[in-house]
Structure 1
Amino acid sequence: MTTDQHHSVTGGAVKSTAVLDDSENLLSIRNLKVVYNSSIEAVRDVSLSVSAGKIVALLGANGAGKSTILKGVSGVLFTEDGEIENGSINFRGENISELMPDLIVGRGLVQVPEGRRLFAPLTVHENLVMGGHLVGSKVLAERLEFVFELFPRLKEKASHISGYLSGGEQQMVAVGRALMSDPKLLCLDEPSLGLAPQIIDEIFKVLRKLRDENGASILLVEQNAHRALEIADYAYIMENGRVVMDGAADALANNRDVKEFYLGLGEASEGKSMRDVKHYKRRKRWLS
């Protein structure tokens, strides 16, 4: 066991639990601090883990630091004048904190960024092929078939220009393109953003299937806590650059504070006043 501690939720109670040794985790982030422009602290002393074959959700409001974590994991902080000032990111037993993005992808950690970022002038088929450009033709064909089985709609639109697809279809292409590299860890940044509920259902169903039938490991960054907790095994909640709560997804989903302030259930969704919100902020100080 390590000496690192998290705030863990079991039922409605919160307790401190020791984190398992890093050798048992596919991804281990320890005491991470990220700053932008050498002055703006975006993430402070964050520790989290992803075990093989699990879906781990990273939840919180916009600006909580979730996407910064993914950028650090993917090695792209430098594109926004961000840097890791302290802490470590270990993937499959190797510290990847200072590796360039292409080397991180080569080690099997692949991100689906917020906003899809497809090659808009290319077809669906061409975008998918770009994701598997390092493998031979036989393996490429097998992976294409695998993606088309997950997303039958993409097979129907394989020759369509990606830039003309709906937002949901573009998100399917983005996930499919990432899967073409056969990642050891798939990281998704806000996959439900701007999508209709039916499309979100379809994409999250695929994520659950990838874990249950293919043993996939997934780090899911989401603002939609309700959707994420439905499919996750474990989850972390961030506020103001810090992890304030973590635990098994079902325990978090049934926690009173999480219900009120992240799932929109309970008293907080019934016209609670700002005074009550301030009271909650005082009451939750023990979480941080």
Structure 2
Amino acid sequence: MLALNNLQILYDRAIEAVRDVSLQVPAGSIVALLGSNGAGKSTILKAVSGVLYQEDGEIVSGTIQLDGAALAGSSPRAIVQKGVVQVPEGRALFGTLSVEENLLMGGFTRSRSESAAGLERVYAMFPRVKERRSQVSGYLSGGEQQMVAIGRALMGDPKLLMLDEPSLGLAPQIVETIFDAIISLNKDSGLTVLLVEQNAQLALQTAAYGYIIENGRIVLDGPAEKLRANDDVQEFYLGFSGGERKSMRDVKHYKRRKRWLS
């Protein structure tokens, strides 16, 4: 479905944020993109969504394709109409609007009847959102806001849902609810998901395939089960080595870079 080929992205025509990145998100799959802060994960999602211009970013080489057709260069509205929807980091709700008004904003490309059906779908998935539908979204808890943000994205009936750090700052019980919903959407309706996460353990339990990005480059990829068993991933992303908890501060960064990029 989604294919990035040798993608290079610059900010302010000087700062290289992404270098020679290629990745595939097959239709009906969940693919995880893992990495630390500043690795380039969010930049990739913004490139796919067509919103790099908001931060003076631009694609200088490479391609982005959806079902074999070029996606880069399309307007954000056109990209949404093609079925690609992003849930941004930090939720980015309209804080002064009610929950239901936020949801309806997500269905702006759809008919009134389709929007009504979309609301019922979201309310069935997240009963807590239905309970809060008349409340001002800015007063919701972080977990409730994340549910609304995902619900707003689903209102557009996406083919590809991109999630940027959906677990960030949330209580474990809320995270479980959200990831159960993601898995159900994938299994029950075949929704394709590109999941950006720092929580590697959670992401690799959810996804079928994963990519690890560092300093704007993909340094490792493979089936999620294989990545979970990889010694380097266990040590540096899952925090275990030989059954003991390890600290990133105890490890020389260049050593794993040398292993992964050799």
TM-score, L = length of structure 1: 0.87
Change (3 A) 1:105 1:261: same
Measured against aligned partners, the alpha-carbon deviations of 1:139-187 in whole angstroms (never above 9, x if no partner) come to 2221111111111111111111101000000000000000001001000
The amino acid that maps onto 1:200 is: V
**1:218 aligned residue:** 193
**1:254 aligned residue:** 229
Deviation (angstroms), 1:110: 0.5
The amino acid that maps onto 1:192 is: S
The amino acid that maps onto 2:232 is: D
**1:89 aligned residue:** 64
Cα RMSD, aligned residues only: 1.4
Deviation (angstroms), 1:213: 0.9
**1:76 aligned residue:** 51
**1:167 aligned residue:** 142
Deviation (angstroms), 1:281: 2.7
The amino acid that maps onto 1:203 is: I
**1:17 aligned residue:** none
CA distance in 2, matches of 1:140, 1:186: 18
Q: What secondary structure is seen at the aligned counterpart in 2 of 1:86?
A: strand
Larger deviation, residues 218-227 vs 91-100: 91-100
CA distance in 2, matches of 1:83, 1:42: 10
The amino acid that maps onto 2:68 is: G
Change (3 A) 1:118 1:273: closer
Deviation (angstroms), 1:133: 2.3
**1:66 aligned residue:** 41
CA distance in 2, matches of 1:282, 1:158: 51
Measured against aligned partners, the alpha-carbon deviations of 1:60-92 in whole angstroms (never above 9, x if no partner) come to 001111001001111111111111011000012
**1:269 aligned residue:** 245
User: How many residues matched?
Assistant: 260
- 1:106 counterpart = 2:81: yes
Structure 2, gaps ≥5 residues long: none
Change (3 A) 1:154 1:45: same
CA distance in 1, matches of 2:8, 2:126: 38
**2:90 aligned residue:** 115
CA distance in 1, matches of 2:219, 2:73: 27
- 1:199 counterpart = 2:174: yes
The amino acid that maps onto 2:48 is: V
CA distance in 2, matches of 1:273, 1:110: 37
* Aligned mate of 1:139, from 114, 119, 128: 114
**1:21 aligned residue:** none
**1:282 aligned residue:** 255
CA distance in 1, matches of 2:249, 2:129: 47
Question: 2:235·2:246 contact (CA, 8 Å) conserved in 1?
Answer: no
Measured against aligned partners, the alpha-carbon deviations of 1:255-287 in whole angstroms (never above 9, x if no partner) come to 11101100111268335764xx22x63254242
- 1:244 counterpart = 2:244: no
- 1:32 counterpart = 2:33: no
Structure 1, gaps ≥5 residues long: 1-25
CA distance in 2, matches of 1:164, 1:208: 28
Q: What secondary structure is seen at the aligned counterpart in 2 of 1:192?
A: coil
TM-score, L = length of structure 2: 0.95
Measured against aligned partners, the alpha-carbon deviations of 1:178-204 in whole angstroms (never above 9, x if no partner) come to 000100100011111111111111101
**1:19 aligned residue:** none
CA distance in 2, matches of 1:204, 1:160: 24
Change (3 A) 1:273 1:60: closer
**1:14 aligned residue:** none
CA distance in 2, matches of 1:105, 1:114: 18
Question: 2:239·2:247 contact (CA, 8 Å) conserved in 1?
Answer: no
Q: What secondary structure is seen at the aligned counterpart in 2 of 1:63?
A: coil
